[in-house]
């Protein structure tokens, strides 16, 4: 989020949203409100990409930006700055395209867009809220697909683009739950991303792997099955079994899959309820499973 919001004026942090954790507690997070028309004042991702291009010694690295469809969230506060959420989203996407171009110019060869609207659109509680406020979910899906496609305009060939379908990851809590099945055919079949990184660390919240069957030819599904929310270390053989199950749903089998943690270890400075040593153990676990699957 900061690759975008630290780059613009016209924003303040005010209202809060509610996350939920495994103990049944609510966790509040302050989020952005749009108070004036956005103006680009900085390009933090470009500075970071310039540093990484020098420090990475030729190894690939990625920069991340908000998914365009999160700008189209119908409950975004834009009063006094824009006439509608759609007007705000169009402005934000124009700026984000420029920020992405500057990061690529500075050396980034992989760009990941995070936290699209789709997890909201399959969560029963959020669906009920949207419908009650006069926002049909089918219309929101159409709008999300359109802007998540539009933000890619101008990105040159050779730059890998990815979409991380995050359900919220704040102090080991989450915001959305529910199977991606209702939106999977359009998201994985229509969106022209090279990779989709999907949270599947808790199938009780996230649903099964069946939506993988809609993955379009030429794209990779990155299976986020190692949790960054809990210090419990997953069993290696269980992860292998899960990957085999997922491979059964996609035409390309394991060749179209990858494995990763479901999200970052710390979406905010406070971090998740997991210590540094365990983070390293989980990354090593991902590497071991990858070695066993793909050599």
pLDDT at residue 174 tops 60: no
pLDDT at 196 over 90: yes
Range 126-131 average pLDDT: 93
Question: Which residue has tokens 């103006």?
Answer: 39
What's the predicted TM-score (pTM) here?
0.91
CA angle 79, 81, 85 (to 5 degrees): 65
> What average pLDDT does this structure show over 236-243?
97
pLDDT for the residue 65: 97
Q: How many domains does the chain have?
A: 1
Burial 260-289 (b: 16+ CB within 10 A, else e): bbbbebebeeebbebeeeebeebeebbeeb
What average pLDDT score do residues 34-39 get?
Answer: 93
Which pLDDT belongs to residue 16?
Answer: 65
8 Å CB contact between 117 and 111: no
Given a cut of 90, is residue 276 above it in pLDDT? no
| Residue 6 confidence (pLDDT) | 95
CA dihedral 172, 173, 176, 180 (to 10 degrees): 20
* Residue 100, domain CATH: 3.20.20.210
- Residue scoring higher pLDDT (137 or 15): 137
pLDDT, one tens digit per residue, over 12-31 is: 777 766 666 677 776 666 66
Residue 255's pLDDT band (cuts 50, 70, 90): very high
- pLDDT of res. 205: 77
Of residues 33 and 288, the one with the higher pLDDT is: 288
Q: Which two tokens stand for residue 118?
A: 């789709």
Residue range 79-103, pLDDT digits in tens: 889 999 999 999 999 999 999 999 9
Q: Give me the residue label for tokens 């099964």.
A: 208
Beta strand 195-199 with 8-21 is: unpaired
Residue 119 binned pLDDT confidence (cut-offs 50, 70, 90): very high
Percentage of residues of the chain with pLDDT beyond 90:
73
pLDDT score at 177: 81
Average pLDDT over all residues of the chain: 91
Which residue's entry shows tokens 């992860």?
239
Give the range of the structural domain holding residue 43, as residue numbers without chain letter: 2-294
Query: Is the CB of residue 206 less than 8 Å from the CB of residue 177?
Result: yes
């Amino acid at each position: 989020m900061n690759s975008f919001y630290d780059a613009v004026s016209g924003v303040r942090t005010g209202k809060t949203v509610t996350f939920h954790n495994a103990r049944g507690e609510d966790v509040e997070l302050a989020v952005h409100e749009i108070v004036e028309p956005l103006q680009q004042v900085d390009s933090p991702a470009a500075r970071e990409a310039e540093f990484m291009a020098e420090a990475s010694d030729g190894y690939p690295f990625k920069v991340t930006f908000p998914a365009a469809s999160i700008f189209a969230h119908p409950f975004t506060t834009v009063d006094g700055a824009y006439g509608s959420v759609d007007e705000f989203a169009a402005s934000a996407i124009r700026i984000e395209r420029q920020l992405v171009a500057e990061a690529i110019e500075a050396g980034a060869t992989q760009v990941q867009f995070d936290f699209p609207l789709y997890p909201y659109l399959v969560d029963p509680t959020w669906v009920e809220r949207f419908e009650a406020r006069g926002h049909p979910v089918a219309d929101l899906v159409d709008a999300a697909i359109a802007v998540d496609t539009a933000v890619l305009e101008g990105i040159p060939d050779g730059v890998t683009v990815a979409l991380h379908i995050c359900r919220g990851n704040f102090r080991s809590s989450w915001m959305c739950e529910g199977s991606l099945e209702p939106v999977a055919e359009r998201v994985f079949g229509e969106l022209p991303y090279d990779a989709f990184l999907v949270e599947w660390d808790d199938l009780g919240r996230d649903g099964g792997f069946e939506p993988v069957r809609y993955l379009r030819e030429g794209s990779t599904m990155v299976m986020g099955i190692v949790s960054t929310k809990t210090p419990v270390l997953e069993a290696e053989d269980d992860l292998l079994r899960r990957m085999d199950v997922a491979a059964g749903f996609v035409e390309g089998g394991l060749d179209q899959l990858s494995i990763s943690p479901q999200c970052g270890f710390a979406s905010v400075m406070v971090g998740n309820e997991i210590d540094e040593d365990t983070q390293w153990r989980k990354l090593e676990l991902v590497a071991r499973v990858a070695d066993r699957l793909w050599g």
